[in-house]
Amino acid sequence: PKSVAPSARIPSQLCTARSIMPVDRHVLANERTLMAWLRLAATMGLGAFLVNVLQKSSSKAALGPMSLVQSLVAIIIAAVSLVRFYQRDYLLKSRHMGAAFGDWMLPVLSGGMILAIVVSATGSAISRWAEWHFHGPECVALPGFLETPGAPRPHVYVSFHGSSEPTSAICHPEQGVSGIHKFSLASGEYVGPATDQLSAVQKMPRQLLVAGDHLLVADGAPSMSSVAVFGRCVPPEPDHVSVPPREFLGVIRAPAQDTRSAEGLLAHGAPVTPLAMEHPYGLALGPDGSTLHVSTQNGGAAISVSLKNGSMALTQQVAPPVPLVGRQVGGPLRGIAVDAANCMHVADRKAHRVAHYCPADAPQPSGFTEVKHPIALSVVHDMPHEAGTLLVGSVEKRASLDADGSDIGDAEGVVLAFPLDLHKPVFPLQVSATYGDKKSLSHPAGMLVSGGLLYVLDQSSKQLLSFDLETAKYKGAAIKTLPDVPEDVALVPDGC
């Protein structure tokens, strides 16, 4: 066969066109590099989002800067990778196959930023561990508050909204206070801790109750759902004035087995299940002094507990339960109270009413009293009515709600007084007095009566407000500065 010269095998015009085309493998490599950096930027952006979600759920202010840094790094990596892609594309079209100036920038920048985030997160974790391990006992008393054990009496216990991580937040009250603390009702001064937040790992304290020598505290955390029991007060040491925190004895909770799917477990007198016990909120003691009544916010139930033998029973299913699945959702029930005639009163916030059961273990309600968004309930005998008075904290104008159904922002609240008839209860109850207005009270929570004054916790202002019991006139703030959103208040027994 006739030989063909190498130069004649490919037309010269094709060679010329070929010479100005970039090499395919370099183009593909450039595109793959761009996609890799964009994936890294997207991953860091997703990480910033997850850190932001974690910050909101755990109230960790320290996670805010980390989320911002990750977002900035993701934006920088995406922007620089695009710039480098077009620069490399231009060089390839110019038949430049070597390294482009600045190719080291992205690896060094991203690697340095990732290393800085890892070192920062590790350092923060070690710092938190060291702070809890070495300084935690010092923070049992509220940091930033002057402990004054000799403050004038009477003293009060105050519970707070709490923290999802009480041990790591113990030195940072702004992240939530899970311990119970004492304040002077006379001067507003901080007296000291009533419980040890390190040894009694409560997360979300709600209402509290002094039952004989013991202090009972409802814990509404989804993973806890129990009533914590604290021992008697221990007298102070001879050379000390302050009373040490009460000893943590244990918790009252539903049986461990989960029987949510079984039928007939929400009936009167049925065994208490984890579903019925979800998010305990209110506590009340029966007139016999040995029966504890618990209202569960998400369980929608009223539960009775014998303080003699520990037996539990579902007394009433006041409202349908709202299971805590995936996220915390506010349930229907709030406070509970029992009067001297053994009538039980339960606040159903979602239904805008207070349900009455006479007697407390009646299978069906004896009646209802319409109240807008009732919260805390309390039966007091210091009012003019001999049979006692039912006090109901009400949010008459709701503000926006957070995840667990608590009001945030501006709201208008009042406390309504309903006289009780212990001999022949008649429902609905009739209002005899109204305490508070939009200028003085926004979101009422726990309340008590002492020395002719009604004291009401206001969650919006984080204060304990006082009103004249007879005239309902606002007298001012008894405690002006509280470290966290308050939940409940109770008088401290003498000697504690």
The three state secondary structure string of 201-260 is CCCCEEEEEEECCEEEEEECCCCCCEEEEECCCCCCCCCCCCCCCECEEEEECCCCCCCC
Local structure of 455: helix, strand or coil = strand
Tokens, residue 294: 């618990």
Asked if 38 and 81 count as a contact pair (C-beta separation under 8 A), the reply is: yes
What's 132's DSSP letter? I
248: tokens are: 């943590």
Are 84 and 99 within 8 A, CB to CB? no
Q: Hey, what amino acid is at 231?
A: G
Q: Which tokens is 471 given?
A: 């005239």
pLDDT of residue 178: 92
pTM, to two decimals: 0.73
> What local confidence, expressed as pLDDT, does residue 194 receive?
93
Q: How many CB atoms are closer than 10 A to CB 470? A: 12
The confidence score (pLDDT) of residue 102 equals 53
pLDDT at 66: 66
Rounded to whole angstroms, the Cα distance separating 480 from 407 reads 20
pLDDT at 184: 95
Peptide bond preceding 152 in cis form (omega within 30 of 0): no
Confidence (pLDDT) at 407:
47
- Per-10-residue mean pLDDT of the chain, 496 residues long, equals 48 46 66 79 76 54 63 79 77 62 61 71 66 65 90 94 83 89 95 87 91 93 88 77 87 66 44 86 94 95 91 91 68 94 95 96 94 95 75 78 49 91 88 88 94 94 94 94 95 86
